[in-house]
Amino acid sequence: MPSTVILWLRRDLRLDDNPALQAALVDCDRLVPVYVHDPDSEAPWTPGAASQWWLHGSLASLDGALRILGNRLLIARGDSLAELRRIVATTGATRIHWNRLYDPTTRERDGRIKQALRADGLRVDSHNASLLFEPWEIATGNGEPYRVFTAFWRRCAARLSDVTPLPAPAALPPPPESLVSLPLERLGLQPSIPWDAGLRETWTPGETSALELARTFLQDRVRGYATERDLPAQTGTSELSPHLHFGEIGPRRILTMVKERWGDPTADPVEPFVREIGWREFAHHLIYHYPHTTDEPLDPRFAALPWREEDAERMLLAWQRGETGIPLVDAGMRQLWHTGWMHNRVRMVVASFLTKNLRLPWQAGARWFWDTLVDADLAANSLGWQWSAGCGADAAPYFRIFNPILQGERFDKSGAYVRRWCPELARLPDRYIHQPWTAPTALLDHAGIRIGRDYPAPIVDLKASREAALAAYEVVKSAGR
Ligand SMILES: Cc1cc2nc3c(=O)[nH]c(=O)nc-3n(C[C@H](O)[C@H](O)[C@H](O)COP(=O)(O)OP(=O)(O)OC[C@H]3O[C@@H](n4cnc5c(N)ncnc54)[C@H](O)[C@@H]3O)c2cc1C
Binding-site members for FAD are 225, 237-241, 273, 375-377
Dihedral sign for Cα atoms in the order 18, 20, 21, 27: positive
pLDDT the model gives residue 423: 98
Which CATH number fits the domain that encloses residue 240? Answer: 1.25.40.80
Q: Write out residues in the chain with pLDDT < 70, as ranges.
A: 480-481
Residues 281 and 383: their CA atoms lie apart, in Å, by 11
User: Tell me, what's the pLDDT at 398?
Assistant: 87
Report the domain count for the chain. Answer: 3
Residues 315 and 243 in one domain: no
> 459 lies in a domain?
yes
Torsion of CA 303, 305, 306, 311, to 10 degrees: -90
Residue 481 has a pLDDT of 61
Binding site membership of 347 for ligand 1 (Cβ less than 6 Å): yes
Q: Identify whether the C-beta of residue 122 lies closer than 8 Å to the C-beta of residue 97.
A: no
- For residue 28, which of 167, 175, 179 has the smallest C-alpha distance? 175
Report the distance separating Cα 228 and Cα 214, nearest Å.
17
In a domain, 197, yes or no: no
**Would residue 194 count as lying in a domain?**
no
Is there a cis peptide before residue 174, judged by omega within 30 degrees of 0? Answer: no
Which is the closest atom of ligand 1 to the Cα of 350?
A: 1
Assign residue 263 a region: left if phi > 0, alpha if psi is -120 to 50, beta otherwise? left
Q: What are phi and psi of 208, to 5 degrees?
A: -60, -45
User: Residue 401 corresponds to which amino acid?
Assistant: I
**Residue whose C-alpha is closest to residue 245's, from 50, 33, 448:** 50
Quote the ligand 1 centre to 462 CA distance (angstroms). Answer: 27
Q: Nearest 10 degrees: CA dihedral of 215, 217, 220, 226?
A: -150
- Claim to verify: residue 345 and residue 441 sit in the same structural domain: yes
Nearest CA to ligand 1 atom 26: 239
Nearest CA to ligand 1 atom 5: 381
Ligand 1 centroid to 266 CA: how many Å?
19
Contacts with 304 (C-beta within 8 Å, 6 or more apart), sequence order: 475, 476, 479
Which of 231, 262, 289 corresponds to the end of one domain? 289
Q: Which residues pair with 30 in a beta bridge?
A: 4
**Pair (341, 447) in one structural domain:** yes
Contact 54, 242 (CB under 8 A): yes
pLDDT digits (tens, 9 = 90+) for 115-139: 999 999 999 999 999 999 999 999 9
Using DSSP's 3-state secondary structure scheme, residue 117 falls into helix
- Mean confidence (pLDDT) of the chain: 96
Q: How far is CA 139 from the centre of its chain?
A: 24
Same domain, 260 and 399: no
State whether the beta carbon of 349 lies less than 6 angstroms from ligand 1: no
Write out the catalytic residue numbers. Answer: 276, 279, 307, 344, 362, 385
CATH number of 468's domain: 1.10.579.10
Structural domain including 380 reads 300-479
b/e per residue 4-25 (b: at least 16 CB within 10 A): bbbbbbbbbbbbbbbbbbbbbb
Ligand 1 site, residue 241, Cβ cutoff 6 A? yes
Reported as type and span, the H/E element at residue 124 is strand 123-127
For residue 189, the CA-to-ligand 1 centroid distance in Å is 24
The per-residue pLDDT for 480 is 66
Residues 197 and 257: their CA atoms lie apart, in Å, by 32
- What is the atom index within ligand 1 of the atom nearest the CA of 229? 29
3-state secondary structure of 77: strand
First to last CA, the chain: 69
